Structure 1
């Protein structure tokens, strides 16, 4: 049974088809008009097999050849191959198959959905292609061409054939890398940059150190093929594909496909199986086809246990040189552009997907179904993104609120703003200390200049004023610190070292010891956070050096540390300092805690002051009418509490909101 049908095509002819015969001359032979066929089985194509292969050899690659089409159709979709012929010669064909998507019939390129290799219509010339596209249009169903070369003449030919009787969509698809060959590629490494050449030489040297390296590029006979394929599959199984269960050994369907196809290609003499061997063992393999004066790379793999000598890279070098030595036109990597292909080339064959929806019942049904599916997919994607989008918006809103609320706790961006606050507080007898808060991105030199600027302002300031600095913000620079300490000693100001993280304490202590050696008369202070367990021992360290100590609860623990409860740790540090001949600053806005700490120090006869952060409200008078010292920060704004604690302590949300409102009203 001939499972094919002929399609009628509209052909313009003369109004009088009868040939005119002159006296004494034979009647001319009219040219045979091309006819269109639709083949519903490969058996019906057999009489055109020779011209099919000849057409592919001249105008196409292995994906359009009968051997690939036959292997793809095995147990798969039913073919509906549209072809144009003259007598027994094939002039053009479209290797299509009938596919049901969402219950609606359409035509697709054979094998593209499974193997994602570039594929195209094949025609001997433009006229044949135009006739072919007209025949494809007459199928009256949606046409899906999954990975066409972007510059394919099929695209304008289909547009012309459908005209305004269809919706045609074209979208980008992954490009395929390739090399345009010439004699220089017989030494492929000359096309690499110096770093890549060095890598290649190093890889070959390592391979030679392992054993004897041999290259095998085989055009196998049928009896040889099964063993060679088993060996090639085994190499790929020992790569990452084996671990991820995507190798041809693990994927039974793809493995069977490659055995069918390579068997057919072997019969045609186009198959090439390539190995790189070390001491006879195959450690890299390639399955390729040599056709149409081109080398087509279908499958690669390497033994991961030999990855140190890059066997895949070495084998690719050899097969490129082989292709150049055979005067082939191109080396086609197929697949998609990847890191390993970019080593050899930056050339890309851009590809597109073309879908044509004719204005027929099945074409319009496919358009509606595809549009609905696309809308549903986008809706699901948007729904999956919605929580992340809302979370991102919420974080942005919180960040904005935090940035605004934090401004309540600084005097302003500049030293001038801080000095205005200090002057105002001095007038009511309020002790103060200055602290520059640097922003992310401020260089150590910029931070040091801000500290020096603040020290200049302390000349003639009340004796209780001092400057707080952060050593990590100086990049832990000994030179910058010495510059600042020298100036502090000159103006007679106390220099106080803030605490940031437990990891920075050792560095800070070493720096303090160095400053004390260079400037023995300089008054120095150090902050001890109560929540750090090490602070109790650090209290003894500070007391032994006669340092002033500021005790804080500490809001920001370091990750993974075993911290104390802040209030408990605060009191433990205070108790450790009680009775020591040093001065202590109690720095907390927690009034009950501050009073308990003050009582401990007072009963032990230890000198102390209260200290509060600017913006924490009007401080109460101490016993005897004295006022707590105010820490006046300026520069970048930060909150004095951790927003990350909102989840555990929702009450902070109210405080944050209140701070935001107050910052807006400048209260």
Structure 2
């Protein structure tokens, strides 16, 4: 095995092989728009001062076969503070492929080089699609780790766009869609499709960021535009993608004001439904389903193949694509614990937790709920309000 490994301190370095990177990204079927160099360069620009970026690049027979932009920082796990290495883009990128097309036997050398250059306790990869991941690489890393864990992080609903989608959906969603359309028509709002470019994306992002700020995401400060760092990242990233024609938006507008939106990234026939929000004062319109339906109709008009929810909560997901999904995309979190003392300790703590967690859960379920003692005066008032009396 002959492979040359090189480290770069930035994706913006003058000698970084940008064109070869894009060729590698297009060559691998699992890559997504979140692997786009413009997206990752925006992620690099938004890195906090306490995180270090190092990009590992590998060539085999003169061809780029590996590019791993990695960030290292300190994270706390209970009483332990350890060095953790992640793929650049965490936590704002939904699905990032590992750009690795390695010759046989190269995987162990890649891991050895990462551990040499970026000593760490934990190497963690998020939102990895198992069937599209480089199994040879990840299997070799698992065998060379003190502890390895693969955990399901989310099950993403996806919908295959077919000709039958021109007909109304059946069941309860049909009536919800009809009611939403009637309310939208009654107030005079209109749905608009937008394909922004680099010159128009900023004003559109201003509009949707204002909607997000008014929504619960803004109140809870969990939106993609919350905070100067995230806002910088999203503006720079979507500007880069819009310049390549990869951004799609569906907007619900009233008199030129955006009331609701769905913001997506499109590539290889698949629209990734990345973000949405609505103005709370217009929540009764039910715009979410209408805009999701607009994705599907747009796909029918332009020959798209898939609507992809991109990422959802593992439990109690409320994404409306569940109502019409034709499949699920399972995404995993992969954790590789090193043989350094900190990695061994962290891995041991994980194994102990996995062993005793079921017992703790059983104890919690068996623990009786304490009885609530209600004072007599309060009980009498409650009985009067409910129309009952114990007398």
Pairwise TM-score range, normalised by the shorter structure = 0.7 to 0.9
Q: What is residue 405 of structure 1 aligned with on the other side?
A: none
Q: What is residue 55 of structure 1 aligned with on the other side?
A: 24
Equivalent in 233, 246, 260 of residue 270 of structure 1: 246
How far apart in 2 are the matches of 1:389 and 1:199? 37
Are the equivalent residues in 1 in contact too, given 2:215–2:278 (CA < 8 A)? Answer: yes
How far apart in 2 are the matches of 1:178 and 1:380? 32
Within-5 A mapping of 1:8-407: 11=1, 33-44=2-13, 47-59=16-28, 60-74=31-45, 75-76=47-48, 77-86=51-60, 89-101=63-75, 102-112=80-90, 114-115=91-92, 117-124=94-101, 127-128=102-103, 131-132=106-107, 134-140=109-115, 141=120, 142-160=122-140, 163=143, 166-185=146-165, 187=166, 190=168, 192-222=169-199, 224-248=200-224, 250-336=226-312, 338-339=317-318, 340-345=320-325, 347-359=327-339, 361=340, 364-372=341-349, 392=368
How far apart in 1 are the matches of 2:56 and 2:323? 40
Q: What is residue 560 of structure 1 aligned with on the other side?
A: 382
1:86 Cα deviation from its structure 2 partner: 4.0
**Secondary structure, aligned partner of 1:335:** coil
How far apart in 2 are the matches of 1:299 and 1:204? 21
**Secondary structure, aligned partner of 1:277:** strand
1:46 Cα deviation from its structure 2 partner: 5.1
Decide whether aligned partners of structure 1 residues 106 and 213 sit closer, same or farther in structure 2, where only a CA change above 3 A counts. Answer: closer
Are the equivalent residues in 1 in contact too, given 2:198–2:240 (CA < 8 A)? Answer: no
Are the equivalent residues in 2 in contact too, given 1:159–1:168 (CA < 8 A)? Answer: no
Decide whether aligned partners of structure 1 residues 265 and 176 sit closer, same or farther in structure 2, where only a CA change above 3 A counts. Answer: same
Are the equivalent residues in 2 in contact too, given 1:84–1:132 (CA < 8 A)? Answer: no
Deviations 1:364-395 (A, max 9, x none): 42231354478689999999998x77861888
**Secondary structure, aligned partner of 2:197:** coil
How far apart in 2 are the matches of 1:211 and 1:62? 35
How far apart in 1 are the matches of 2:354 and 2:113? 31
* Structure having the larger proportion of residues in strand: 2
Decide whether aligned partners of structure 1 residues 158 and 389 sit closer, same or farther in structure 2, where only a CA change above 3 A counts. Answer: closer
**Secondary structure, aligned partner of 1:307:** helix
Are the equivalent residues in 1 in contact too, given 2:59–2:65 (CA < 8 A)? Answer: yes
How far apart in 2 are the matches of 1:67 and 1:378? 43
Decide whether aligned partners of structure 1 residues 158 and 242 sit closer, same or farther in structure 2, where only a CA change above 3 A counts. Answer: closer
How far apart in 2 are the matches of 1:166 and 1:36? 24
Are the equivalent residues in 2 in contact too, given 1:167–1:356 (CA < 8 A)? Answer: yes
How far apart in 2 are the matches of 1:65 and 1:349? 21
How far apart in 2 are the matches of 1:130 and 1:302? 51
How far apart in 2 are the matches of 1:181 and 1:46? 42
Decide whether aligned partners of structure 1 residues 62 and 133 sit closer, same or farther in structure 2, where only a CA change above 3 A counts. Answer: farther
How far apart in 2 are the matches of 1:281 and 1:377? 51
Deviations 1:72-103 (A, max 9, x none): 22233222222322466422323322233355
Are the equivalent residues in 2 in contact too, given 1:179–1:347 (CA < 8 A)? Answer: yes
How far apart in 1 are the matches of 2:226 and 2:342? 38
1:229 Cα deviation from its structure 2 partner: 0.9
Within-5 A mapping of 1:368-517: 368-372=345-349, 392=368
Deviations 1:380-434 (A, max 9, x none): 9999998x77861888xxxxxxxxxxxxxxxxxxxxxxxxxxxxxxxxxxxxxxx
1:292 Cα deviation from its structure 2 partner: 2.9
Are the equivalent residues in 1 in contact too, given 2:157–2:329 (CA < 8 A)? Answer: yes
**Secondary structure, aligned partner of 1:336:** coil
How far apart in 2 are the matches of 1:374 and 1:164? 17
1:239 Cα deviation from its structure 2 partner: 2.5
How far apart in 2 are the matches of 1:301 and 1:128? 45
**Secondary structure, aligned partner of 2:261:** strand
Q: Unpaired segments of 5 or more residues in structure 2?
A: 385-390
Q: What is residue 596 of structure 1 aligned with on the other side?
A: none
Q: CA RMSD in A?
A: 3.6
1:129 Cα deviation from its structure 2 partner: 8.1
Are the equivalent residues in 2 in contact too, given 1:81–1:95 (CA < 8 A)? Answer: yes
How far apart in 1 are the matches of 2:342 and 2:280? 49
1:57 Cα deviation from its structure 2 partner: 3.2
Decide whether aligned partners of structure 1 residues 240 and 37 sit closer, same or farther in structure 2, where only a CA change above 3 A counts. Answer: same
Are the equivalent residues in 2 in contact too, given 1:284–1:302 (CA < 8 A)? Answer: yes
